[in-house]
Amino acid sequence: LPATTDMADGYLFPPLWGPDSFNNGAGMSRILTAARFIKARMPLGKPDLTDDEAYDVAAYMNSHERPQRANLEVDYPDLKRKPVDSPYPPYADEFPIEQHRLGPFQPIRDYYQGLE
């Protein structure tokens, strides 16, 4: 919803996807981060979503187009320390991008724990 009738003034609530939304390198593009945020705050003023509902909302929100951040390949110099739910390559493992985006995450966590 726009903050005023003049769109130049910005948004009361920022768009969840599209050209004015957060980019694909933002923390909210990570499903686990987004689900935690959504669970703690939705619906507005009366958060009561289950973990699964928050996860589903986060997955739906992050399935839409958004601005692309440049140079994501250098975001994590040590790929072994990259969050398991980072939705963009490169990775230090062979798990598919979709698994990094949506899970299951435990096999990825187990893989990295085995490297320690």
Q: Which residues are bridge partners to 2 per DSSP?
A: 11
Q: What is the mean pLDDT of the chain?
A: 92
CA dihedral of 8, 9, 15, 18, whole degrees rounded to 10: 20
Domains in the chain, CATH or no CATH each = 1-69 (1.10.760.10), 74-116 (no CATH)
Q: How far apart are the first and last CA of the chain?
A: 47
Q: Which of 89, 87, 80 is nearest to 113 (CA)?
A: 80
- pTM for the whole structure: 0.85
- Overall average pLDDT of the 65-71 stretch: 95
Residue 5 has pLDDT above 80, yes or no: no
DSSP 3-state of 6: coil
What are the CB-based long-range contacts (under 8 Å, 24+) for 54-60? 55/31, 58/31, 58/34, 59/31, 59/102
